[in-house]
Structure 1
Amino acid sequence: MINQKEMNNIYDNEQFFEQYAQMSRSRQGLSGAGEWHQFKDMFPDLTGKQVLDLGCGYGWHCKYAVECGASQVLGIDLSEKMIQEAQGKNADPKIRYEVCGLETYGYPADSFDCVISNLVLHYVRDLDEIYGRVYRTLKEDGVFLVNIEHPAFTAGINEDWEYDKNGNPTCWPIDNYFYPGERTTHFLGQHVVKQHHTLEQILMGLLNAGFHLEAVKEAYPSEDMMEIPGMKDEMRRPMMLLIKAVK
């Protein structure tokens, strides 16, 4: 089952949300996301398509889908604060936003041409359950686009580097990789509960659900982001895993 209680509490926490709002991906949208230069190339033709965004956050991907010609987009997120931001920043007559968790949404059969899940599945304990529901709600040849924290990242101890005496990162320690489950990390000044999944669980779960994999990418920052402080260190270990799966 999905750890919805923790998800809801942390993203609707005032202090946490204020910090989240300062992140480049919050302020600049998709252009501020280091993985976007890879993820956007995985999107199918959305002209006239029905799109579902699971964990839509500020609604950046919803608005992008409309800009790409989608006829109707539904963005759901458990956080009321996220939905309020989406309605303010990325409103459009073709987009409907709804406060709803991944486990409570109905997933009507054969209803969507594309389902997007951006940085939410690492909060999900039972990936297979969600994979099955997404497969059901997609139309034939429908596309499931996934951006999930990479297993090498979620297996990192406290999801942080080890540092030398001068505060420089020396290595990214990994432990208990083959023990999936709950991980408590420190993010934006708060303790955040996530779920670690192995690469096999993530990919084979999609195959076992009936999907075939069209593309798998490990995210790295674009060349024009390399001068941002700390960005070169993002080349030392993967942080996100991008997947395009087709029904």
Structure 2
Amino acid sequence: MPFCAYEMQVYMPKPQNIYDDPDFYKGYEELRKSGTALNDVLEQPAIRSLLPQSLEGLHLLDIGCGFGDFARFARSKGATSVIGIDPSKNMITAAREKTDDNAVTYLNAAIETFEPQVTDKFDCIISSLALHYVQNYEDILVKLASWLPATGRLVFSVEHPICTALAAQKWALDADGNKLHWPLDNYRDEGPRETSWFIDGVIKYHRTVESYVNGLLDAGFNLLRLLEPEPQEYGHDERWDNHRRRPPFLVLAAEKR
């Protein structure tokens, strides 16, 4: 679907839940089963590199927990408890099936409406590729800050603004199908973009790098690190080299002041 001004005005009054669409879920599940998706090669290694030096004894919240991979990883590194939330019933069902651990709790909830129990205390909050689906990023950050103690850490990834700026999210190709360049346009026009990924009508919210960083500062965080991860372990492979030409992910770590 070509990009147009109308697409940027899409109004989404409630949390998006594309992962319960049967066609979307099937495509996404197959992608993740491969073990060589961009999540595995780039995004998760970057997230893990920004975690506290030790997870021993920590209580974590995982926003957009998906199949529960991070929750299980955190427990293997000594985390005392993990609460994983996801708006998708499919994801929560799969995560529960894959996890046999009473210290991990999965809840079918979106971050826009989730409120932890009074007894829930989080030392660290993680979010993997979920916050570009939320409309009110700044409000979410204020809520997350209220759940963290001073020096508590927030680590999250989003699709890179270079990718989300143009709704089509496709390379410009020559007549033979070779990738010429990644188009960038309407970068300053923040807001929803309607795109196709497994299915049509997927809504992602575009924000500038500036907005992602300043949102953290305005919500009471100090920025610790900003990463635009690139392939490290796969040698010379054109499939991964293309992701050096334009970064697919932005990964941020911040500490509550």
State whether TM-score is above 0.5. Answer: yes
**Deviation string for 1:58-108 (max 9, x for gaps)?**
111111111111111100000000101111223422100000011111146
**Which residue number in structure 1 is paired with residue 29 of structure 2?**
21
> Structure 2 CA distance, aligned partners of 1:4 and 1:58?
26
Q: Does 1:176 align with 2:186?
A: yes
**Deviation string for 1:105-160 (max 9, x for gaps)?**
11467820000011000011111101001000012211100111111111134111
How many residues align? The count is 243
> Structure 1 CA distance, aligned partners of 2:91 and 2:56?
26
**Deviation string for 1:174-231 (max 9, x for gaps)?**
111111001011112433111001111100000011100111111212232653x622
SS of 1:17's partner is helix
> Structure 2 CA distance, aligned partners of 1:201 and 1:26?
33
- Aligned CA distance change for structure 1 residues 6 and 182 (closer, same or farther; 3 Å): same
- Aligned CA distance change for structure 1 residues 3 and 65 (closer, same or farther; 3 Å): farther
* Equivalent residue runs for 1:224-239 within 5 Å: 224=234, 226-227=236-237, 230-239=239-248
SS of 1:140's partner is coil
> Structure 2 CA distance, aligned partners of 1:221 and 1:158?
24
Long gaps (5+) in structure 1: none
**Which residue number in structure 2 is paired with residue 83 of structure 1?**
92
> Structure 1 CA distance, aligned partners of 2:30 and 2:218?
39
Q: Does 1:198 align with 2:208?
A: yes
Letter in 2 for 1:20: Y
Shift of 1:35: 2.5
Letter in 2 for 1:63: R
Q: Among all aligned residue pairs of Structure 1 and Structure 2, give the percentage whose two residues are the same amino acid.
A: 35
TM-score by length of 2: 0.88
* Equivalent residue runs for 1:150-189 within 5 Å: 150-189=160-199
**Does the CA contact (< 8 Å) of 2:60 and 2:125 recur in 1?**
yes
Long gaps (5+) in structure 2: 1-10
Letter in 2 for 1:57: G
Letter in 1 for 2:200: Q
> Structure 2 CA distance, aligned partners of 1:154 and 1:38?
19
